[in-house]
Amino acid sequence: MQDRGSPRRAAGRLRSSDGSDPPREGPEPAVSGTWLEPFAWRHVALIASLATALLLAFASRNGYHRDELYFIEASRHLAWGYVDQPPGSIVMIGLSRTLLGDSLLALRVFPAFAFFATIVTTGLIAREMGGRRLAQVFAALTAVFTFFLAAGHIATTAAYDVLAWTIVSLLVLRILRTGRVRLWLWVGLAVGVALLFKETILLLVVALIIGLLSNGQSRVLWNRWVLVAALIAMAIWSPVILWQARHGWATVEMSGNLRSEHSGLQVSLGFPVVQLLLAGVWSASIWLAGLWALLRDPGFRAYRSFAFAYVVLFVAIGLFMGDRPYYLGPLYAVLLSAGAIVTAEVVAGRRRFFSARPPRRRRLIWRSPLAAVVFVVVCAVVALPLALPVLPPRLLARVPLQRVNDVLVEEVGWPELVTTVAHVYRSLPPAERRTTVILTDNYGQAGAIDRFGPAEGLPRAYSGHNSYWWWGPPSPALGTAIVVGFGSDAAPYLSRYFRSVTRAATVHNRYGVENQEQGCVVWLCRGQIRPWPQVWRQFRVYH
């Protein structure tokens, strides 16, 4: 450990007259010693705050996402697990509803805070890898205009999952830099909490283990602190495991169904293209330079395991989970941070992109703050309409953004769906309404009816989709059913359960946006053949 009066320490404190870092003699590895540059917390916090304010400004632009509507109802059925996820995100929804209310803005405050923490953590990752102030700021800026922004927009698992990956990455980087293996206890705690939100953190854990072994750093793993960390994570996760065991390993069944439905050569071939969009095509040179540096630059050798982990996950997810390309998204925090360090060195004239050697002649490359402003403007123009509901719904009907981010179009049309169902419900005689149930094809439709239906006088909705199935069977056991969805040719299928099946209405949103519910059919079914408890299992769908 160097003392406070050492030249290396002094160099970290000195600044030139324009506030920039002083030049050094020749190129220097990005990683050197155990001392870190000061954290540019004011700059990084300002970037994170402005980006979070942008998130909240557009939080109520359109409407709820189908997953949010499902989560709202799930927060009324708190449990240690659900068919499609652990309880963490549902608990956060419950907290926001209790503390802030049921508005859409209130629902999205906590994910926005998670996004804020992710951007700050990305700046800390750049610092941990040896980055100075410019590198830390650049890492935070580039991280804003990635998949992270879209993840922070809606109240689902994505925002918390991204934050968990970045925190675990930061902790492992610190272990590799300092050799303080006791920090594995904090890794175990972080992984355990992350497992309460989403199981994908296990992908990072396995990939990092492979990366550490491939990088000749197995000694970092062979100590008692790793074992204790694993026990901590398992202890935190154990209630979720017990819930799964008691419910027939529902998540495993659902994952298998999704894999069989959405895997294939076409999905795998499109996976690399989606990765460019997730990390940002506009900053591809930065994160690719970071990946190159982690693989080839001697100054980053201590952290090369993250590059190996990225390659392992890129191949594994692309081949077996290509329909979930965003599972790899959180790891770009490390690649962008490494690339930001390289970029800062290039800007200072100390190195070249994709090369650890110094430039042929000493020269300063455009260091004006205007460069950062131009970069942010370009990123905002390209990224914001893809990540946030910047475009009005009427324009969404003409711009096929759903091919890039279907979240935006799935926020449109829920009130119209509920109004259509309410119109069919009110057309029934009062006596028949008392024995009428509403059955939907998916949890988004059911969640919308449960959210907006009471104002229209509708009863609660039932669905066989994922955890909604566990909240059935419908009541009363016999009567009329208003069935939403199941396809335009669902009459023969529904005739197994009802003697009379009539097409009652079709759902259309007022903007003409093509989404999953546009053109959805509402069926009126009478003459129920068998009571719901006897047939309810046949409606169960996990996907």
pTM of the model: 0.88
- From CA 143, how far away is CA 138, in angstroms rounded? 8
What is the number of structural domains in the chain? 2
pLDDT of the residue at 18: 38
15 has a pLDDT exceeding 90: no
Last residue of a domain, one of 353, 387, 421: 387
Instruction: Confirm if 412 and 62 have CB atoms less than 8 A apart.
Output: yes
Is position 249 within any domain? yes
pLDDT of the residue at 372: 60
Same domain? For 379 and 426 the reply is no
What sign does the CA torsion over 478, 480, 481, 487 have?
positive
pLDDT of the residue at 276: 81
Q: Exposed (0-12), middle (13-18) or buried (19+): which is 42, by Cβ within 10 Å?
A: exposed
pLDDT digit string, tens, across residues 18-31 = 344 444 322 333 44
Same domain? For 154 and 51 the reply is yes
Is position 403 within any domain? no
**Could you tell me which residues are beta bridge partners of residue 541?**
465
203 has a pLDDT exceeding 70: yes
Lowest mean pLDDT among 105-119, 124-138, 280-294, 444-458: 280-294
Expressed as residue numbers, the domain containing 438 is: 413-539
pLDDT of the residue at 359: 58
Same domain? For 379 and 478 the reply is no
pLDDT of the residue at 4: 36
Same domain? For 531 and 443 the reply is yes
Same domain? For 69 and 193 the reply is yes
- Torsion of Cα atoms, 508 then 514 then 517 then 518, to 10°: 30
Same domain? For 87 and 174 the reply is yes
Lowest mean pLDDT among 119-133, 356-370, 498-512, 518-532: 356-370
Res. 356 pLDDT band, cuts 50 70 90: low
Q: Exposed (0-12), middle (13-18) or buried (19+): which is 515, by Cβ within 10 Å?
A: buried
Instruction: Confirm if 280 and 192 have CB atoms less than 8 A apart.
Output: no
Nearest to 123 by CA among 93, 166, 61: 166
Same domain? For 114 and 182 the reply is yes
- The separation between the first and the last C-alpha atoms of the chain, rounded to the nearest angstrom, is 54
pLDDT of the residue at 488: 87
Is position 432 within any domain? yes
Same domain? For 464 and 376 the reply is no
CA distances from 410 to 63, 64, 69, 311, 518 (A): 9, 8, 11, 32, 10
Q: What percent of the chain has pLDDT over 70?
A: 87
Is position 301 within any domain? no
Is position 326 within any domain? no
pLDDT digit string, tens, across residues 72-84 = 999 999 999 999 9
Res. 402 pLDDT band, cuts 50 70 90: low
399 has a pLDDT exceeding 80: no
Res. 371 pLDDT band, cuts 50 70 90: low
Is position 14 within any domain? no
Is position 4 within any domain? no
Same domain? For 111 and 203 the reply is yes
Same domain? For 208 and 256 the reply is yes
48 has a pLDDT exceeding 90: yes
Is position 280 within any domain? no
Lowest mean pLDDT among 21-35, 150-164, 227-241: 21-35
Task: State the chain's mean pLDDT as an integer.
Answer: 86
**Which pair of tokens denotes residue 360?**
């042929």
Length of the chain measured in residues? 543
Nearest to 332 by CA among 283, 381, 388: 283
Same domain? For 68 and 201 the reply is yes
Res. 343 pLDDT band, cuts 50 70 90: confident
Same domain? For 382 and 501 the reply is no
Crossing angle of the two packed helices 224-246 and 184-195, in degrees rounded to 10: 10
